[in-house]
Structure 1
Amino acid sequence: MHTDYSRKAHMSRVKLSRKRTFAAITLVAALGLSACGGSGSSESGNADAAADGQWPLTVTDDAGHEVTIDEAPESIVSTSVTLTGSLLAVDAPVTASGATMPNSPVADDKGFFTQWSDVAEEKDVEALYQGDPDVEAVLAEEPDLIVVSKTGQDSASAIYDQLSDIAPTVVIDYGDKDWQEVTSRLGEITGHEDDAKKVNDEFDARAQEVRESIDAPAQPVTGMVFNEKAKGGGSGASANIWTPDSAQAKLLEEVGFELAEVPEGTAGQGEMGKRADIVEVTGENLSKAVTGESVFLFNANEKTAEAYQKNSLVKSTPAVKNDAVYALGLDSFRLDFYSATNVLDRIEDEFGK
């Protein structure tokens, strides 16, 4: 059973002799359930009241601001294109959003991500700007709630004070939590908790359905984002391997896949610093770090998978020898309900019994 939100697509398994093609890129959308995690019984009570349609609602956001939302929002501006998909998924009244570079492999002509751009069009969501946040554009929308990401290239946290003068402004950190937590938290602050629960339950049911309908590939598996060129434009290649703390790895586990371990001593120092969700690997360490019998490439299409198969740094790894390298689509990097459901569809298409 496929949901109304799904964008049916085909996953690509690249073979050296015969290719099944499929064409289909920070972070994963995600955030924490503050009402369930140490923010106090008062906040939890307010969240329960909001679910019953009782306002005002007071929350402590991920930047430590105590924010009071007087009434159920009717006009929400999202300054984070990463968070907009989750707002749309819970049917929150998003009227406008920041955007990314338009007409790219992952975005439409407005700069909205392809996995939910048609939903945004149906709901008449306006693209306010691409790139740096525009306070005047937000002000012109006359919102009654503004949503801001704490981190990432789409963060407007630097102008929080200006935005909070316009309307109640809630900061969400999507960098350390999974996309289903994003959905729950946004459902809470918008009064759409029931919709959020429905979305998460629907995804979990779909994941279980896929798990039961496939013949799993060779186990264990490695999930990663592969970069054909080294960072800084040097020679070689690099990869960010998803850890069990990442939303991407959790998705693989949810369909029954076992995660391969990354051996100690193979991680690089990395420009992104210490992170719980990825292990950064460069150069010759790739052959040591990629231990999975199968490899799943996120933020990847057929071309990426072909480049991976041909790269000399990984030619001796089990997955390349097994001809078991799979691309999960260009929309699989920034997970939300829409893109995560797309990934499930691709897994089912490839491994369905």
Structure 2
Amino acid sequence: MKLTTLRPVAAILGIFALLTVSAQAADGWPREIKTSRGVITLQHPPQRIVSTSVTVTGTLLAINAPVIASGATSPNTRISDDQGFFRQWSSIAKQRAVKRLYIGEPNAEAIAGEAPDLIIIAATGGDSALKVYDQLSALAPVMVVNYDDKSWQELATELGEATGKEADAAKTVASFDAREKALKQSIHLPPQPVSALVYRPDGKAANLWTPASPQGQMLEQLGFTLAQPPANAASGQTQGIRKDIIQLAGENMATGLNGKSLLLFAGDQTDAKRLESNVFLSHLPAVQNKQVFALGNDTFRLDYYSASNLLTQLETQFSGH
């Protein structure tokens, strides 16, 4: 090819490159994202996202973010599949070939092996990888997010901004909110107020969802009223640490479960019967009046998928009341 032919081609390619850069700039890239560990700068929409939080992974999948690998929890439980991914989005993860990096304890080497261009860490919870933050921040930008003080919709919006999936996040949230609004108009609420809780397997303690929790927020959006436990009912272990739960233990468990109905999260009908048979709780009005409702094993952490399943549970439980 002659030089005179190459020059116009080079010029065209140069113009195309400039247009591409301009288009990226117009879409907001590079983009600065505020996190609890400072501001991170993303030069372009991430293509290889690693989630160290199995809780956050579900929301990333819901907004079609390119998550390639994730930390996991213990496999083959009633909430997790054979990889340790949550059952509510397990099939989606398989379809998208999301790789399991490790179980439980964060592994910086495994994360590095995936060559991520964005790493997402939970600020709190059992799946937080903050202790290896410094190691990970040397590999790629690290986004620290909180999921215990906001709804999954708020988290989806936050993640959408960081991943360039704003439109997907908005569409997912709008679709869910429309379904939630429709359900609010059709269900018949059980006796109010309600105590929304996670009942511990040994029957000696419970975690009570507060209005600040995603579960509490969702219930209130649907018209439920959360019962306020006595101020002295909370265990000192959780005061000042977490805003989403109040830990009730020992004799304080019965005192704190003062709702006229009990909504049992992260549990099924077997767990509801176990609670009803607890001699220390048998005197509660909600138990005596058979107002104990199990809302599914996958509702301990809410993402789009588990929250959608929760709507189905509420519809099934309360449409006929």
Q: Do both proteins adopt the same fold according to a TM-score greater than 0.5, normalized to the shorter chain?
A: yes
The total of aligned residue pairs comes to 298
Q: Which residue of 2 aligns with 1:292?
A: 259
1:1-353 to 2 correspondence within 5 Å?
53-63=27-37, 65-229=38-202, 237-270=204-237, 274-353=241-320
Give the superposition deviation at 1:272. Answer: 6.9
Partners of 2:32 and 2:59 lie apart in 1 by 21
Contact 2:148 2:214 in 1 (8 A): no
- Judged with a 3 Å threshold, the aligned counterparts in structure 2 of structure 1 residues 201 and 290 are, in CA distance, closer, same or farther, namely same
Q: Percent identity over the alignment?
A: 46
Partners of 1:277 and 1:151 lie apart in 2 by 11
Secondary structure at the counterpart of residue 75 of structure 2: coil
Letter of the aligned partner of 2:29 in structure 1?
A: W
TM-score, scaled to structure 2: 0.88
Partners of 1:50 and 1:205 lie apart in 2 by 32
Letter of the aligned partner of 1:254 in structure 2?
A: Q
Give the superposition deviation at 1:285. Answer: 2.2
What CA RMSD, in Å, does the superposition of the two structures yield over aligned residues? 1.8
Q: Which residue of 2 aligns with 1:17?
A: none
Give the superposition deviation at 1:104. Answer: 1.1
Secondary structure at the counterpart of residue 315 of structure 2: helix
Contact 2:46 2:117 in 1 (8 A): yes
Partners of 2:191 and 2:261 lie apart in 1 by 6
Q: Which residue of 2 aligns with 1:44?
A: none
Q: Which residue of 1 aligns with 2:8?
A: none
Secondary structure at the counterpart of residue 58 of structure 1: strand
Partners of 2:174 and 2:87 lie apart in 1 by 23
Secondary structure at the counterpart of residue 233 of structure 2: coil
Can you list the C-alpha shifts for 1:59-105, whole angstroms capped at 9, x where unaligned? 12122x22111111111111111110010011001111111111111
Can you list the C-alpha shifts for 1:209-260, whole angstroms capped at 9, x where unaligned? 111121211111110111253xxxxxx6211111111111111112221212
Partners of 1:136 and 1:172 lie apart in 2 by 22
Q: Which residue of 1 aligns with 2:10?
A: none
Give the superposition deviation at 1:52. Answer: 5.9
Q: Which residue of 2 aligns with 1:42?
A: none
Larger radius of gyration: 2
More helix by share: 2
Give the superposition deviation at 1:173. Answer: 2.1
Structure 2: tracts of 5 or more residues without a match:
1-22
Structure 1: tracts of 5 or more residues without a match:
1-48, 230-235
Give the superposition deviation at 1:161. Answer: 2.0
Greater relative contact order (CA < 8 Å, ≥ 6 in sequence): 1
Partners of 1:50 and 1:341 lie apart in 2 by 34
